[in-house]
Chains A and B, each alone.
Chain A
């Protein structure tokens, strides 16, 4: 059951060889035994999960089941789920029980999936190591000294340690792909606008996108089928005909042109990561793909552009936390402004405050054109680079992160070093493109290496197909961390 695919689990449920209640108990029991050391979950509520599981079992008995009915899925604590504590990894929301469901939660509920718990994350999804969480850091199941990446580090660690068969994440600058890479699992950030942001606590609205995290590309496809869908409550949600993301899983790779961006294999990429990624490219070639070199000349600029746009949008989005209608309020205050300032100073952690301050500054009087507007223009230039690259290739592949997982505390005192670790993922968010990370080996330290597959807009099915062919020929995605 530990390494079973979602399709296998679904078949066992359909054939009544396993009930959702049994399956849910199995994972709740694993969480109970292992979460103490990993800290992957912020909230576990066995009764609530088991009630859902019993409802799923009723559906299975009545023959009203779909591919995910009865499957337990860990939900990132950024998704509002009615009746569940939803903290977003922040003291500000440490007492917040969501009064409604996010669109993503509604979709999983309608599919009959079970909420297995709420996973740990960097505070308000701001971080690349899961060290900024108010609930404490998450540990990497492959090596307890290492970070799991972030911001969806709890979801990544939960899947890697097989505490959950699948999980959700959100990705603003790499927050699904980087933790997936650092923990040896798979994760996809869909084309911006495919997954509704309704009820997904906002960080940087023009970049935030939800997506699934799981053991294999094959497992990501049915999860994506559930998560993607038009929602009028999100003004950036795209209205498109429904797609079946499993439909290209078995398509051969023959003739597929995979672009290798010269800039992704340049200075700054660790040698052991480069070796694993090159071996994966060789495997794709053996399977029939044709590697071609492409250029993404403005890759380096994506970091400054991101660190203007994301904090600017964050400073605006997080203005809502004022200690009045919900969330943390300081116990003692003189007047209204004193209450705001103290509640926000005490409710937010250092990284969140830092980003609010950057955002406040770049949006302040006289600076808008030089920063926000310039960044939005560069954003278009970065998107054009990808469009040019896709003239000569079908998918772009490269490393997800420049190095394997770093140690806890290694970069937490140096924000700029932390930001630079997102060099290969950020541009994908800026362009609004889909990005996938799959495990392709290990570094010299025995920690996992991820391959990033970037597709053109709406090419998720093709990306998952390529990844699935690779995973049929290799077994990196089936390797288990020590002790699991």
Chain B
């Protein structure tokens, strides 16, 4: 993999919704390139025919009935929010 340039770092940060300054981007670029050099070692191994592993016991997703299982705790949950009004979470206007 070619090493990341500053523009790559800014693009990734934008995808991750993390604001990044120019100085920070330079430091991060260097660190990420160090980490990706480490990660590149993976590519050398032949894994053809190997099934990817997500859970050691290879469990399957359980299903449950589509029924209400939780009590309404809107007030309690909204007491933790930065900004609420009339039971709604407030965010900056999205649609003009």
User: With A357-B12, A360-B16 in contact, is A335–B92 under 8 Å at CB?
Assistant: yes
Produce 1/0 per residue, B13-54, CB < 8 A to A: 111111110000000100110111011111101010011111
- A381 near B51 (CB under 8 angstroms)? no
B81 within 8 A of partner (CB):
yes
Bound-complex Cα distance A97 to B80 (A): 7
A327 cross-chain contacts in B, Cβ below 8 A: 82
User: With A307-B38, A364-B15, A419-B38 in contact, is A99–B80 under 8 Å at CB?
Assistant: yes
A191 cross-chain contacts in B, Cβ below 8 A: 56
A236 cross-chain contacts in B, Cβ below 8 A: 55, 59
Bound-complex Cα distance A319 to B39 (A): 23
Bound-complex Cα distance A135 to B52 (A): 38
Q: List 25 A-B contacts (CB under 8 A).
A: A97-B80, A193-B56, A232-B64, A235-B62, A304-B42, A307-B35, A308-B39, A308-B42, A315-B16, A324-B82, A324-B89, A325-B81, A328-B82, A341-B14, A345-B19, A357-B13, A360-B16, A362-B39, A376-B53, A377-B50, A378-B47, A379-B52, A380-B50, A380-B52, A416-B35
Quick one: closest A residue to B94, CB to CB?
A336
Among B62, B73, B83, the residue within 8 A (CB) of A99 is B73
* 9-residue interface stretch from A52-60, A279-287, A366-374: A366-374
Bound-complex Cα distance A298 to B44 (A): 12
Among B20, B34, B91, the residue within 8 A (CB) of A416 is B34
Q: How far is the CB of A423 from chain B (nearest CB, A)?
A: 12
Q: How far is the CB of B17 from chain A (nearest CB, A)?
A: 4
A480 within 8 A of partner (CB):
no
Q: How far is the CB of A289 from chain B (nearest CB, A)?
A: 26
B12 cross-chain contacts in A, Cβ below 8 A: 357, 360-361, 364
- B91 near A339 (CB under 8 angstroms)? yes
B67 within 8 A of partner (CB):
no
* 9-residue interface stretch from A63-71, A146-154, A348-356, A402-410: A348-356
B68 within 8 A of partner (CB):
no
Quick one: closest A residue to B83, CB to CB?
A329
Within 8 A of B (CB), among A425-484: 431-433, 457
Among B36, B52, B57, B82, the residue within 8 A (CB) of A373 is B52
Size class of the B contact interface (CB-based, 8 Å): 35 or more
A192 within 8 A of partner (CB):
yes
| A-binding residues in B (CB < 8 A) | 1, 4, 9, 12-20, 28, 31-32, 34-36, 38-43, 45, 47, 50-57, 59, 61-62, 64, 73, 76-77, 79-83, 89, 91-94
- A431 near B56 (CB under 8 angstroms)? yes
Among A193, A364, A381, the residue within 8 A (CB) of B55 is A193
Residues of A within 8 Å of B, CB-based: how many? 70
Within 8 A of B (CB), among A281-329: 298, 300-301, 303-305, 307-308, 315, 319, 322-329
Quick one: closest A residue to B56, CB to CB?
A432
- B53 near A380 (CB under 8 angstroms)? yes
A342 within 8 A of partner (CB):
yes
Bound-complex Cα distance A375 to B92 (A): 39
Q: How far is the CB of B71 from chain A (nearest CB, A)?
A: 11
Binding site secondary structure of chain B: loop
A337 within 8 A of partner (CB):
yes
- A340 near B17 (CB under 8 angstroms)? yes
- B42 near A374 (CB under 8 angstroms)? yes
A5 within 8 A of partner (CB):
no
Q: How far is the CB of A442 from chain B (nearest CB, A)?
A: 31
- B34 near A415 (CB under 8 angstroms)? yes
The 9 nearest A-B residue pairs measured at CB = A432-B56, A376-B52, A329-B82, A377-B47, A345-B19, A380-B53, A341-B19, A326-B80, A377-B50
Select the residue from A315, A360, A362, A364 with max chain B CB neighbours within 10 A.
Answer: A360
B59 cross-chain contacts in A, Cβ below 8 A: 193, 236, 238
- A325 near B77 (CB under 8 angstroms)? yes
A96 within 8 A of partner (CB):
yes
A308 cross-chain contacts in B, Cβ below 8 A: 39, 42
Q: How far is the CB of A271 from chain B (nearest CB, A)?
A: 25
Q: How far is the CB of A355 from chain B (nearest CB, A)?
A: 9
Q: How far is the CB of A16 from chain B (nearest CB, A)?
A: 39
A344 within 8 A of partner (CB):
yes
A94 within 8 A of partner (CB):
no
B73 cross-chain contacts in A, Cβ below 8 A: 99
User: With A370-B43, A378-B45 in contact, is A322–B35 under 8 Å at CB?
Assistant: no
- A304 near B41 (CB under 8 angstroms)? yes
A358 cross-chain contacts in B, Cβ below 8 A: 32, 35-36
What would 8 more interface pairs be, CB under 8 Å, given A379-B52, A380-B52? A192-B57, A308-B39, A324-B89, A325-B81, A357-B9, A357-B28, A374-B47, A431-B56
A26 within 8 A of partner (CB):
no
Among A304, A319, A338, the residue within 8 A (CB) of B38 is A304
A304 cross-chain contacts in B, Cβ below 8 A: 38-42
Bound-complex Cα distance A78 to B41 (A): 32
Bound-complex Cα distance A206 to B53 (A): 10
- A353 near B92 (CB under 8 angstroms)? no
A303 cross-chain contacts in B, Cβ below 8 A: 38
